[in-house]
Chain A
């Protein structure tokens, strides 16, 4: 019983992080048909921004580093993806791949390839004993942040005008534009949100791994990518569902696989992506506008 509870907590915790990642990727895919590999580099930049600002008071570190990531997201959109807006989805995919590589190596050039130890809030590393269950404070904080981010995003998307426009655009971009939705502002808004989501991931993820490196964004983006596809590309609910699903699956595989088989966890996840693409290409939560028309 206790063990099960521990697994559930772990799954929610890991899943929350993946859900945030998947949301950031899914948001952009929904309106632009772009799978943004460079999302991982936003996470990386968030980490390095915090490292550079570490001597400032806490709230300033948080505020300025969020601004830095959002500014990066907007710059990426303006400089790389806006000129390519009418290109084929596979061209966009290659472009984001190149961009991700560009940002990673820019970071190698500026900060060196070697990982840098980084602890933003060392107090988070303590463990809390709640009855029989052990919870790291970090886990509680990250779960709280994830929930707050999801709630905030829901309010933003359901209650504000730009949020409604964004949801409309992600259902049918052309029809939304015909109804007066401004393409540039809604896409820039989506990138800004995805930047903010990436910052939250960089806060939690860098605290979990305790270091920063130029390639640190690759793993989260690849897992987020899996979650987005399992959940259903283009669906925001699907991204969250997919994130928690992959989190649960990862914990289950970790617990269920024998020691020799454990390294193959990633292979199982990607084999699942392959199967989902073939058997249920619309994912767990289907989006109607994505069906290709002749």
Chain B
């Protein structure tokens, strides 16, 4: 009896994660048979998934909406660029780089790990003060972080090339090299949210006062979540550089923030399944719009090119979701392979109280 209960709870614990991982792997395998153009779209989506899952680890569990996570991505991208670009190219682009970075020449994977670590260290530094703030002040504070990092990255000419771009990154990112990172992010995000740290933070999200009264150190839990979440955003920044081969500071600002927050909000802020669903839905919808934007030839009818249509449609979708389904497509629930009634024991998956606002 006891053993079967343990197996029962273990499968209940793991199933949503396995389901998400399988869905993702299946989509990637299917896309692998499609032309290269579609594979690039999928790679881009997987990198965004890393940012969204990274952001989710903090935003979803703490309930604090952060606009700053793309700054972690930017930092990761530049750190990776310093480490992977060959010293000869760096001599040309950034002649004033410190010798330590100038001579560095590491493999893409090592550089991506270092990028994640650097983003985490930065998140720790800004998180120590930032985690004291709640609600809208925290959102504004994180926006300030984004703006400061962008101003520094786009003007620190000796280190980042300023407004110009850094090139010479290896084109290492494709669907098969980004998938393991995405799966690792899912696994870690899931483990974190089921761990005592995640549960404490989710408690604080649902009722700050009650959690504090029960002995939860909200500040500490928020800092931990921020550091973990920044790691994946930093890695995503590195992969984004490997994907495009070039990095520019302005690609880590409002537009990227908008698209990743849209993915998170549309899918549902408070569940990991929501984060994944948001990336898939927004990528698919965005692709449809992008094709419309280029113009369509439908026999007798032709639709002209409409630049701006993609962003317009995404923004409209986000507003509609916010108004009519504020908790996102998944409504804060985790994916369930079997009907809810099958799990007789334990609370419902996700365990989000209805009035978490």
Contacts and interface: CB of A to CB of B under 8 A. Distances in A.
A229 interface: yes
A267 interface: yes
B322 interface: yes
A23 interface: no
B132 A90 contact: no
Interface in B112-164: 129-130, 132-133, 135-137, 139-141, 144-145, 147-148, 151-152, 154-155
Interface in A83-130: 83-84, 87-91, 93-95, 97-99, 101-102, 104-109, 112-113
Nearest to B319: A98
A278 B142 CA distance: 12
Nearest to B136: A89
A56 to B, nearest CB: 28
A273 interface: yes
Interface stretch (B48-56, B195-203, B309-317): B309-317
A97 B130 CA distance: 21
Given A109-B307, A264-B155, A274 B135 contact: no
Contacts of B140: 35, 225, 229, 273, 277
B322 to A, nearest CB: 5
B136 A35 contact: yes
Interface in A248-271: 263-264, 266-267, 270-271
Contact of B308 (A80, A93, A108): A108
Contact of B148 (A97, A109, A271): A271
Contacts of B64: 90
Interface stretch (B24-32, B102-110, B182-190, B257-265): B257-265
A266 B151 contact: yes
Size bracket of the A interface: 35 or more
B357 interface: yes
Given A88-B357, A98-B319, A109-B306, A294 B151 contact: no
Given A105-B312, A277-B140, A97 B261 contact: yes
B209 interface: yes
Interface string B305-344: 0111101101110110011001000000000000000000
Given A80-B323, A264-B155, A270-B151, A113 B308 contact: yes
A102 B133 CA distance: 29
A214 to B, nearest CB: 8
A167 interface: no
A98 B323 contact: no
A281 to B, nearest CB: 6
A222 interface: yes
B65 interface: yes
Contact of B315 (A93, A101, A263): A101
Nearest to B257: A97
Contact of B318 (A83, A98, A109, A214): A98
A101 B318 CA distance: 11
A274 B65 contact: no
Nearest to B259: A101
Given A112-B307, A277-B141, A90 B136 contact: yes
A267 B152 CA distance: 7
Contacts of A294: 209
B306 A95 contact: no
A106 B315 CA distance: 10
Interface string B62-80: 0011000000000000000
Given A90-B65, A264-B152, A95 B322 contact: yes
Contact of B254 (A218, A271, A274): A218
Given A98-B315, A101-B311, A277-B144, A90 B135 contact: yes
A197 to B, nearest CB: 21
A246 to B, nearest CB: 14
Contacts of B311: 101-102, 104-105, 108
A104 to B, nearest CB: 8
A284 B139 CA distance: 20
B357 A270 contact: no
Contacts of A292: 135
B148 A84 contact: no
Nearest to A218: B254
A87 B254 contact: no
Given A84-B323, A101-B258, A263 B151 contact: yes
Contacts of B318: 94-95, 98
Interface string A112-155: 11000000000000000000000000000000000000000000
A93 B261 CA distance: 12
Nearest to B316: A102
Interface in A175-229: 214, 218, 222, 225, 229
A39 interface: no
B207 to A, nearest CB: 10
Interface of A: 33, 35, 80, 83-84, 87-91, 93-95, 97-99, 101-102, 104-109, 112-113, 214, 218, 222, 225, 229, 263-264, 266-267, 270-271, 273-274, 277-278, 281, 292, 294
Given A94-B265, A263-B154, 8 more contacts: A84-B323, A90-B64, A98-B315, A109-B308, A113-B307, A113-B308, A270-B147, A281-B137
9 contacts: A90-B136, A95-B323, A97-B261, A214-B308, A270-B151, A273-B140, A274-B144, A277-B144, A292-B135
